[in-house]
Structure 1
Amino acid sequence: MYNGDEIAVKKLHHLVGLDDKAFDSEFRNLSKVQHQNIIRLIGYCYESRHQYVKLNGELVFAKEMERVLCFEFMEGGSLDHHIADDSCGLEWPTCYEIIKGTCEGLNHLHNSQGKPILHLDLKPANILLDKNKTAKIADLGLSRLVASTQTHKTEVVKGSQGYMPPEYIDDNLISMKFDVFSLGVIIIKIMDGNMGRSRCSEMGSEPFIEFVCKKWMTKLRAKSGYSSDEIDRKCMKKCVEIALRCVVADRNKRPLIKDIVKELEELEDEINKMSRSSVQEAVIPTCLLLIRPWSCASYLSQGKIYQAACS
């Protein structure tokens, strides 16, 4: 507990080159990051002690350091627990909000801190959900602050298998496009489960997009009162298209995260215009016209709102 609130505690493994000064500096920088889609870093503690350890078969007296990071507690757990081989167990509005929130959080890391902050280990296990299923990027304690947007070469192996881009696997090159590649893999898994990437490779881009949209639309149409096919399909298609551009092998052809966020904002504007047009055509009672335009995801429930208002 911290100030009456539950917190999550994460013990760090030893990291080559991360001494007390470097750790303290990185923590202070990361603790300044404040965004609704980034987990809040509350504090840290560490303990150092000397003990005998084996080195090359011999006992040596060495200093051992243990570091612990403290974060806000996330009741919804991690995203990976909701993703199966063939699907995501969450509803489509929630999935869309998770995709959008993850993009906005990553954009904040890359473009709102003076120096870009590269996550370098973005994956479903590091996207946590609060009680309202709001997505928050976690594990910032192992990220890297860079002085520019240039590509860098590193000797330290980081990242998780399946989420690392080819330029890192082959040449240890890191840039903001590293995180963009990881984001693309995450979106594909949200949209089509853990088998999504292999299925996309087998089917090709356009058939894969059609397959994913059809699968989600079938699931949505099975619900009573559902009535927003055009809007949902537009959102689904845009999300998959973005994901496929993020995972291309040539990093120079991947979009920047700021451009992805701009695309989603433009999509929201388009959806809001469609929403207003639908409201006018349906001649909804005046009281409903006072409701502010629906977002892409929340629009999904308007069919039920109409039904309730007219009954």
Structure 2
Amino acid sequence: MDFTFALLDTITKSFSEEQKIASGGYGDIYRAVHNGEEIAVKRLHHFQGLDDQQFQNEFRNLSKVSHKNVIRLIGYCYESRSKYMKHNGELVFAKMMERLLCFEYMQGGSLEKYIADEPCRLDWPTCYKIIQGICDGLNHLHNAQEKAIFHLDLKPSNILLGKNMTPKISGFDLSVDSTEGMDPIAMRRGTLEYMPPEYIDSGIISNKFDVFSLGSIIIRMMDGHGGPYRYSEMSPNQFIEYVSENWKKRLEKLSEHSSYEMDILQVQACVEIAFRCLEADRNKRPSIEEIICELGLRQ
């Protein structure tokens, strides 16, 4: 749907602070209501030359996708307007390009706020459901499109949660399809913690980029902020045992928890998968199809 800037200005109360729900490197996000439906309006910052590329990446790639674990694009606004601005002490008319994207509103907010503490505030069945959902969405991006879509900025703040904690992948600013080269302007943009070494060192992108990011997310979910540090300081077996023991203690407190044994197996399986996703050699990382298969066998 093609929205006018005037309409979006009205339903966000002139992009007021009270309507703002998030701020990011590329834009601010506002809550609004349109035709009785809650929506999220993302207004991109006015970065010379950069915001247009981010807008096109997100719009182009999301307009191709329809999946329960990928954020739904509702509409856009791409509109030039004139505005009085001061220049050299005088008021002049300046042309401004407004770029906005509208999405379904996710009541649960981002995954980041649930795993910011140690330990994370989510119970294991919810964690496992979120991990599965992220994998399902990523599998759709990599394998259900005519040209695979690489997200390139998968991280907890870009995983949004609905009322029933269903996860949806968002934040497609840096996404590219598998036939595209990397834009030099966008090189090395993103979040270092979730970038694979081949990208940091040489700018190489492939389907294994997102797999590495997925591994980092799982480690964070299962072991909080200290997870990446402990992961780097321990052997795989030590870390798996450490995380498994912590979750065992949490699960044992639930006296009527009937699926204890299954949950522990799932915990161990997810930590093992995360380790393989974080292999320095991208060729040793599993594909998302392999991960989906493994998670399916352990449901």
TM over 0.5: yes
Summarize the Cα distance change of 1:19–1:162 in structure 2 as closer, same or farther, 3 Å threshold. Answer: closer
- Tell whether the 8 Å contact from 1:69 to 1:141 is kept in structure 2 after alignment: no
Q: Distance in 2 between matches of 1:142 and 1:53?
A: 33
- Tell whether the 8 Å contact from 2:55 to 2:99 is kept in structure 1 after alignment: no
Paired residue secondary structure (1:87): coil
- Tell whether the 8 Å contact from 1:119 to 1:179 is kept in structure 2 after alignment: yes
Q: Distance in 2 between matches of 1:80 and 1:255?
A: 25
- Tell whether the 8 Å contact from 1:49 to 1:64 is kept in structure 2 after alignment: yes
Q: Distance in 1 between matches of 2:174 and 2:111?
A: 19
* Bigger Rg over Cα: 1
| 1:236 to partner: Cα distance | 0.5
Q: Distance in 1 between matches of 2:293 and 2:224?
A: 26
What's the TM-score, normalizing by structure 2?
Answer: 0.80
Paired residue secondary structure (1:252): helix
What's the TM-score, normalizing by structure 1?
Answer: 0.77
Paired residue secondary structure (1:190): helix
| 1:208 to partner: Cα distance | 0.5
Question: Which residue of structure 1 aligns with residue 213 of structure 2?
Answer: 182
Question: Which residue of structure 1 aligns with residue 113 of structure 2?
Answer: 81
- Of 92, 100, 113, which residue of structure 2 is paired with 1:68? 100
- Of 159, 162, 167, which residue of structure 1 is paired with 2:198? 167
Residue identity matched to 1:84:
A
Which deviations, in whole Å up to 9, do the C-alpha atoms of 1:202-242 show, x marking residues without a partner?
Answer: 12111110111110111111112123332111100110111
Question: Which residue of structure 2 aligns with residue 108 of structure 1?
Answer: 140
- Tell whether the 8 Å contact from 1:30 to 1:141 is kept in structure 2 after alignment: no
Paired residue secondary structure (1:239): helix
Question: Which residue of structure 2 aligns with residue 122 of structure 1?
Answer: 154
- Tell whether the 8 Å contact from 2:57 to 2:175 is kept in structure 1 after alignment: no
Q: Distance in 2 between matches of 1:78 and 1:118?
A: 20
- Of 47, 58, 64, which residue of structure 2 is paired with 1:32? 64
Q: What stretches of structure 1 of length at least 5 have no aligned partner? A: 269-311
Q: What stretches of structure 2 of length at least 5 have no aligned partner? A: 1-32
- Tell whether the 8 Å contact from 2:62 to 2:72 is kept in structure 1 after alignment: no
Structure having the higher helix fraction is 1
The answer as to 2:211 corresponding to 1:211 is no
The answer as to 2:224 corresponding to 1:197 is no
Question: Which residue of structure 2 aligns with residue 143 of structure 1?
Answer: 175
Q: Distance in 2 between matches of 1:207 and 1:111?
A: 34
Question: Which residue of structure 2 aligns with residue 91 of structure 1?
Answer: 123
- Tell whether the 8 Å contact from 2:66 to 2:72 is kept in structure 1 after alignment: yes
| 1:46 to partner: Cα distance | 2.5
Identity %: 57
Residue identity matched to 2:120:
C
- Tell whether the 8 Å contact from 2:57 to 2:172 is kept in structure 1 after alignment: no
